[in-house]
A and B are shown apart, each in its own frame.
Chain A
Amino acid sequence: MSSDLTRLDAATLAEKIHSREVSAVEAAQAHLDRIAAVEGDVHAFLHVAGESALESAALVDASIAAGTAPASPLAGVPLALKDVFATIDMPTTCGSRILEGWRPPYDATLTSRLRAAGITILGKTNMDEFAMGSSTEYSAYGPTHNPWALDRIAGGSGGGSAAALAAFEAPLAIGTDTGGSIRQPAAVTGTVGVKPTYGGVSRYGLVACASSLDQGGPCARTVLDAALLHEVIAGHDPLDSTSIDAPVPAVVEAARLGATGDLSGLRVGVVRELGGEGYQPGVRASFDAALRRLEKLGAEVVEVSCPHFEYGLAAYYLILPSEVSSNLARFDAMRYGLRVEKGASAEEVMAATREAGFGPEVKRRIILGTYALSSGYYDAYYGQAQKVRTLISRDFAAAFAQVDVLVSPTAPTTAFPIGEKIDDPLAMYLNDLATIPTNLAGVAGMSVPSGLAEEDGLPVGLQIMAPALGEAVMYRVGAAFEAARNADESGPLIARIPELEVAAR
């Protein structure tokens, strides 16, 4: 019974909980059991909050038993929260030694919304330190392993959240996407990940990587589940100045509409610059098949050019480190977090603590950002990158004048072996090639499973991009594609994941 519950999608599980067929406590316990059984192999979590998860689930059960309507369509469903959101009752480390054991005295807005929706927070998931990385190997607490092949990366920075879904440790998860940290892990784990429009989900309590690029978003195993979670977490927050004060797009309705399988009249643009050379053959093949499937659904597929996308990576790796160098300055051993008592002065202790508390990738980016903002280099680097950002936004605007959504492979490759790129930062950065432009322009993007690559049998993701606040059409296309793929392949891609060895308990 227990193991069955972990295979359900969130929508189905919620129905069973709300109809009292199963209790929220049973659902939570089933997932906690699964975590206990597979975590040794997967390492998706940095902190598991069993007790508080069961308590919160019991409250949902009591409320339903009392005849109260569920607090949300997902009340009672367990969720894995990326360890970058502040939680008052759990540590928040961002995968860094410098915040080891830190318990925030406040909840992030997103955390509060999950609680208010009656969602059971199982714990906090592993991530690249401060969300910098594409493999979760830069976590100070060890890498997350891809449930499809344990010697492979689960993507990053949100590898923990994606792996938790693929390993059936949780039906829902939360990620953050600064340059692809939701979508690329989704792609390499055969799950669904959505980066909402910048400003769509509050960043209050999301520990910043790069403020102008960061965006929290839903992760799930189905498009509908992602949509249900999207509607829980999205919406205006007066505590975040960059939060958009507009109605949340009706993504659940759009996902349901899409699942009926008709995309006729819709124009889908293939971004010429996000494909071809540099993309693994199996990724290209899966993408081509996806285009065929979209056409079969009635969509008109056309090629569009976004000429400045090829500068996206360069602009991103100037803007991001610049903001990082400033955002991470607050970790100075004075008010919270690690303090290394080396040296007599505050200045020395700061430098010793930051040296000991940050990993190599964080240090590299801090140094790079400090450089890019330095007087004299500002115009050539940061300033120029901001102009490229404008040009990329204009490319999107021009493209969306012609088509409803844009598509590309989510990542150039499938999951690569752990350790392969860890000492080659530039090779690591190339993972984000296709996902970065949406972050630079603030538009929406998602990754849905498109199939397995022939050469390695590992999942490939299809990226769908939509204009700002255009999530509805994106979810519609994603759901239609998912339904068609599942129908053609007799079942969801995730069903083809190899069984993990279950540890004896």
Chain B
Amino acid sequence: MSAEPGTPSAPGSSTVPDPSAVSDPSAGEAISRDEVAHLARLARLAVTDEELDVFAGQLDVILGSVARVGEVAAEDIPPTSHAVPLQNVFRQDVRRPGLSQEQALSGAPAAEEGRFRVPRILGEEA
């Protein structure tokens, strides 16, 4: 419904496989087992080897099918990101009651000193 100009284009799109290759089923498998493993890591899924075997096959079939979107000539077509053409929906800068500390922590696997307790965080200091 809403036709909107512009869409975030992925950064670094020049460094990746030719999109026509992925939409062409004859170009071989759409996705490799290694790629699936990499994606699972990105998505924080500690998948098993057996799962990888199964998923790689299934995702290859699914991707082969969804790649059909590439058959549509849509170069000049604006992308739709939202189903209804609304814009400028705001709220006034007025406080609303939130949760108490107890409610906030009520579902926490672990808590300490009013805070969520989590295993040690690797990575950078924020």
Contacts and interface: CB of A to CB of B under 8 A. Distances in A.
Nearest to B20: A380
B13 interface: yes
A376 B45 contact: no
A354 B62 contact: no
A162 interface: no
Nearest to A307: B72
A384 B74 contact: yes
Contacts of B66: 313-315, 317-318, 381, 385
By DSSP majority rule, is chain B's interface helix, strand, loop, or mixed? loop
Contact of A198 (B55, B84, B116): B84
Contacts of B16: 375-377
A53 interface: no
B92 to A, nearest CB: 10
Nearest to B10: A378
B51 interface: yes
Contacts of A338: 109
A198 B83 contact: yes
B69 A388 contact: yes
B71 interface: yes
A379 B107 contact: no
Nearest to B121: A346
Contacts of B41: 351
Interface string B14-56: 0111010011000000010001100111111111100100110
Interface string B92-126: 00000001000110111110000010111111000
Interface string A248-292: 000000000000000000000000000000000000000000000
Contacts, number: 226
Interface string B51-85: 10011001101110111111110100111111110
Contacts of B1: 393, 397, 441-443, 468
Interface in A386-437: 386-391, 393, 397, 425-426, 429
Contact of A380 (B8, B23, B54, B81): B23
B84 A336 contact: no
Contacts of B106: 103, 105
Contacts of A386: 7, 79-81
Contacts of A381: 22, 66-67, 69
B99 A380 contact: no
A383 B79 contact: yes
Contact of B44 (A102, A351, A380): A351
Contacts of A360: 51, 54-55
Interface string A308-327: 10010111011000000100
A52 B111 CA distance: 29
Nearest to B81: A386
A314 B10 contact: no
A317 to B, nearest CB: 5
27 contacts: A105-B107, A198-B83, A198-B84, A212-B82, A241-B86, A315-B69, A329-B43, A329-B44, A334-B118, A336-B109, A344-B120, A346-B121, A351-B45, A355-B48, A360-B51, A363-B45, A364-B58, A376-B16, A376-B17, A379-B13, A380-B23, A381-B66, A381-B67, A386-B7, A390-B78, A393-B2, A429-B62
